[in-house]
Chains A and B, each alone.
Chain A
Amino acid sequence: MTGWTLVIHGGSGSMTRGVLSTADDNAGRAGLAAALDAGGDILRGGGSALDAVEAAVRVMEDDPVFNAGRGSVFTAEGRIECDAAIMDGSGRTAGAVAGVRTTRHPVSLAREVMTNSAHVFLAGAGADSFARAHGVEAAEPAWFETVERRRQLDEILANPDAPFDSGMKYG
């Protein structure tokens, strides 16, 4: 095997042509292209698939266009709780976190769990504490919050018949 391949996604949902503004459409495409560049550069240089997928996801976690890391959607209580997982096919090792609130790159925390803990899955405040103990970069809750996601939450809460985004309008 000498070739390499990277495939990414930025979420699926009910976005249809014409619903997304041209600016949002362009921002989404630019974010995807940046993630492909980050992961593709690693693979092009002979790096590992594991490093490539982490790098690509980190770029999208920093991009407010996507529902992950910065730009994540809000819970009904107005907080941001992130989940992430990573898995290495060569040894079927894996790491995952759920409900983290103060770690800038949840995917890197998942990798730290995989690499430097006896566990696979950590959740909530414990996972954030593990991140601090292992020097995984922290971020204040405000880092993750965007005006558009707050607007989307207000829209949903204003409609009690739609208790959460079951229609994946904001996938």
Chain B
Amino acid sequence: TVGAVAVDSAGHVAAATSTGGLTGKRWGRVGDSPLIGAGTYADDRAAAVSCTGAGEFFIRLGVAHEICARIRLTGLSVDDAAREMIAELGVMGGKGGLIAVGPDGVGTWNFNTPGMYRGRVSSHRQAEVAIY
């Protein structure tokens, strides 16, 4: 699974996710990536979010939309909302990660797996990539 979230110089956010799913999947199984609100969501009032991992858990929690709702309704920061949802995912036994960015330009990532391919760049930060 791959994904990207961005905020542009006009303050608009967007999210995109794309995947081949899980190796050996059967019966037309679809995970969270294409489900708006589960693996992908964007709302200028809150954030843009893209998720990766055990999709069934992200679907059940509605992770991408839940992060935006917590930011919009409780004033939580992008970072804290991301952390809360990955923690909740872990409690349910789910594994995975997510990236998020708010209209204020703060970008974040959070994951509970040993590794996540990830990167970020901004108008005030050099590009950086990481795996572990």
Please give the residue numbers on chain A whose beta carbons come within 8 Å of chain B beta carbons, in ascending order.
Answer: 1-17, 20, 25, 28-29, 31-33, 35-37, 39-40, 43-44, 46-50, 52-54, 56-57, 60-61, 66-69, 71-77, 80-90, 92, 94, 96-99, 106-107, 110, 120-121, 123-124, 144, 149, 152-153, 156-157, 162-166, 168-171
Query: B18 touching A69 by the CB < 8 A rule?
Result: yes
Known: A43-B8, A96-B40, A168-B53. A81 touches B120 (CB 8 A): no
What are the interface flags for B20-44 relative to A under an 8 Å C-beta threshold, 1 for contact and 0 otherwise?
A: 1111111011110111100111111
Query: A165 touching B33 by the CB < 8 A rule?
Result: no
Who on chain B is nearest to A90 by CB? B12
A-B contact count (CB 8 A): 350
Query: A87 touching B15 by the CB < 8 A rule?
Result: yes
Who on chain B is nearest to A37 by CB? B127
A-B contact pairs, 16 of them (CB 8 A): A4-B123, A7-B109, A9-B1, A11-B19, A20-B115, A35-B2, A40-B127, A49-B12, A49-B13, A52-B8, A53-B48, A84-B16, A85-B18, A92-B43, A106-B18, A168-B95
Please give the residue numbers on chain B whose beta carbons come within 8 Å of chain A beta carbons, in ascending order.
Answer: 1-26, 28-31, 33-36, 39-44, 46-48, 50, 52-54, 95-101, 103-109, 111, 113-125, 127, 129, 131-132
A14 to B132 CA separation, bound complex (whole angstroms): 10
Partner of A1, one of B4, B18, B42, B105: B105
